[in-house]
Structure 1
């Protein structure tokens, strides 16, 4: 800052020195010598005849010449003063502009921290780290320890093969979810880095926001915005068995999950394949707004070569071509989305045990009945049975059938799925359906299986 200021002021100082130099050289020297000349003794200063004659003929000639030279110097000084003043004004203007932009940039950073979520706006001890695609906050371990009450069991929100998720309450009573990843070797480390890299640059209403991360010894932590209603899996298959999810809420969740997936496939460059889309990775906030989460297995299009990408996913959601041939595309995510749509429709798990050593997927079980309109109402989740327009039910079933086609090329793009769901969701929930258009349930009451 000081160096730049000196650099900007240097031309002004140079101009000032130049002006002083010009002023010192612009004094009327001849006039002074003429005035002092009579004081000189003739014996020390001999006067030539020519000089004496000239002085006798025109005694004021030397004064006139000195005056002319003085006027000439004044004419030179005027443009020099003007030029130096203009240069000074320009330099000062640039300096003020630079200071203003510096302050504006600082203010914008502060505002972005305040608006970036419940943690970043509050904690001043954060530092930023640069990832491949963006930057993300590093949160001190002591803050996470205090916010989770030393990772007390009563604060556990969920648990899985990766570790546990804790509810965190920070000093200003703001909440977050802290995922504690137990040490799992190189794969766990790679998934952690992958999630941080991707979520540091992705911003979308239907994709979970990463507030920050922490590495403490061998343990890694990811800090997310808190989703008060947990996962879709918990809502559908947990103690409530979907009782809080009406038909319209389920369609809203499907629509928002499709919007998040469309952003990954169509608006990220390069496109992102989630690779582990499932009901447990669709999180719901207090208003049942849905957000995709868990990007540890996500890959960018072009990097999904069978040779360098380990086969991963969850049984029941993995597309057959990926499971059998390792072929991974955006259509693999569309297949998984179709399974989630069936879960919402029927309230069943993606894979259910038929016998101790026998399992059946929801796709295998439901496919024959999804295409039969007389049987379709009977397989709908009892919680929402007879609460929707049958035309809408047929349409959702048709979309689900297309999404879970064994042949990837027969599956629609997620954009097409999105456009099919928008008319089924009420306007107030983010769709295009007018409340007056929502028909009362029609058709006979379904019979038991």
Structure 2
């Protein structure tokens, strides 16, 4: 007998982008989804008995229950990457969220998941789809704002881009940009990401 948990809300992708499942999401709910998803990845990377690299972190693989509690799913790629190998000749996964370093050299690491999670954060705060076909304009737009030291206000979802939320959204965007650093060594670990998000969440609750 197989027993599955019924995930009533579907995926984060559905809630953000699909018209028939799209729901209003305030900033507190979005921040909670991001924090709990980061916790899950950090556990897989550094607390599980055997390190687990997901390899395909994206909104479609983050499922949500009735209370919007996220569950990371679809570990197919992590199973296809042999534990005793650092490199693969067959790069697999969704190109939209794929670490460019992994794409170039075929080496999947914890920092590959960090990169993908950075893209997920951008989708959560913008409610715009990241795409591979147009050179991922969502990622490019946020990176250009950061490079030019401009506020990314126009890129945030108008539903949450209110005056009282802008500082927190700017910080979230900054965390995401750090995850997207092309220098793998300069990217934070998922544990570091969790620490920054928890600090942000506590400041929100004060």
Which residue number corresponds to residue 360 of structure 1?
135
Runs (4+) of structure 1 moved beyond 6 Å? none
**Do the aligned residues in 1 keep the contact of 2:151 with 2:170 (CA within 8 Å)?**
no
Summarize the alignment of residues 275-290 of structure 1 with structure 2, pairs less than 5 Å apart.
275-290=55-70
Gaps of 5+ in 2: none
Distance across 2 between alignment mates of 1:246 and 1:387: 14
Structure 1 unpaired stretches of 5+? 1-138, 140-211, 213-222, 353-357, 426-431, 438-449
Q: Alpha carbons of 1:414 and 1:385: their partners in 2 closer, same or farther (altered >3 Å)? A: same
Q: Which of 78, 87, 93 does residue 306 from structure 1 map onto? A: 87
Match of 1:346 in 2: 126
Give the secondary structure class of the aligned counterpart of 2:95.
coil
For residues 388 and 230 of structure 1, do their structure 2 counterparts lie closer, same or farther at Cα, with a shift above 3 Å needed? farther
SS at match of 1:305: coil
| Structure label with greater radius of gyration | 1
**Per-residue CA distance 1:169-224 (angstroms, 9 max, x = gap):** xxxxxxxxxxxxxxxxxxxxxxxxxxxxxxxxxxxxxxxxxxx3xxxxxxxxxx52
Give the C-alpha shift of residue 268 in structure 1: 1.5
Q: Is 242-251 or 329-338 further displaced after alignment?
A: 242-251
Q: Partner residue of 1:68? A: none
Structure 1 Cα separation of the partners of residues 20 and 126 of structure 2: 15
- RMSD over aligned Cα, in angstroms? 2.2
TM-score by length of 2: 0.89
Instruction: Give the distance between the partners of 1:231 and 1:304, measured in 2 at CA.
Output: 31
What secondary structure does 1:389 align onto?
A: helix
Are 1:274 and 1:297, in contact at CA under 8 Å, matched by a contact in 2? yes
The SS at the match of 2:97 is: coil
Residue of structure 2 equivalent to 1:405: 181
SS of the equivalent of 1:359 reads: coil
Deviation at 1:236, TM superposition (A): 0.6
Distance 1:250 1:301, change over 3 A: farther
What are the superposed Cα offsets for residues 29-76 of structure 1, whole Å, 9 maximum, x if unpaired?
xxxxxxxxxxxxxxxxxxxxxxxxxxxxxxxxxxxxxxxxxxxxxxxx
1:269 to partner: Cα distance? 2.6
Aligned: 1:383 with 2:159: yes
The alpha-carbon deviation at position 373 of structure 1 amounts to: 5.9
**Superposition TM-score, scaled by structure 1 size:** 0.43
Q: Is the counterpart of residue 327 in structure 1 residue 123 in structure 2?
A: no
**Larger RCO, structure (CA 8 Å, separation 6 or more):** 2
User: How many angstroms apart in 1 are the aligned matches of 2:182 and 2:33?
Assistant: 25
The match for 1:419 is 195
Give the one of 170, 174, 183 matched to 1:394.
170
Q: For 2:191, what is the secondary structure of its paired residue?
A: helix
What's the counterpart of residue 274 of structure 1? 54
Residue 161 of structure 1 corresponds to which residue in structure 2?
A: none
2:34 to 221, 238, 254: 254
- The reply to whether residue 244 of structure 1 matches residue 24 of structure 2 is yes
